[in-house]
Amino acid sequence: MGGLDGKVCLITGAGQGVGRAIAIRFANEGADLVLCDIISEKLKETQQLITSESPNSKVVTSTTDISNEEQIKSLVKLTFENFEALSVLVKNAAITVQGNLIRISNEE
């Protein structure tokens, strides 16, 4: 049993690097995952790695551009279509924008 058994985790930028490492670690800890990335080939690689290492974790993927509000809405909808809840959100994919999170615009 892992520390994330029964948890649903959504991870952006899960196709490579830090996002992939987080996804693999969370799966090893028992989490079910919703993974997104803008590069579908890299996302498939991550899913295959997790499926081979942690076959008990359910993995749902989505090629998503998180700078697109409609795609984010679709990602959230996908999450709740496949799972009853969302326990953890890892916002790994990003660009850096200076400012207050509360006051930042959708365009920024």
- 59: part of which helix (H) or strand (E)? strand 59-63
Question: Which residues sit opposite 60 in a β-bridge?
Answer: 34
CB atoms within 10 A of CB 86: 14
Domains of the chain in start order, with CATH, are 8-90 (3.40.50.720)
Q: How many residues does the chain have?
A: 108
Cβ contacts of 95-101, under 8 Å, gap ≥ 24? 95/67
Q: What's the pLDDT score for residue 24?
A: 97
Residue owning tokens 């920024």: 108
58-68 pLDDT, tens per residue? 999 999 999 89
pTM: 0.88
34-73 pLDDT, tens per residue? 999 999 999 999 999 999 999 999 999 999 999 899 999 9
Distance of CA 77 to the CA centre of its chain: 13
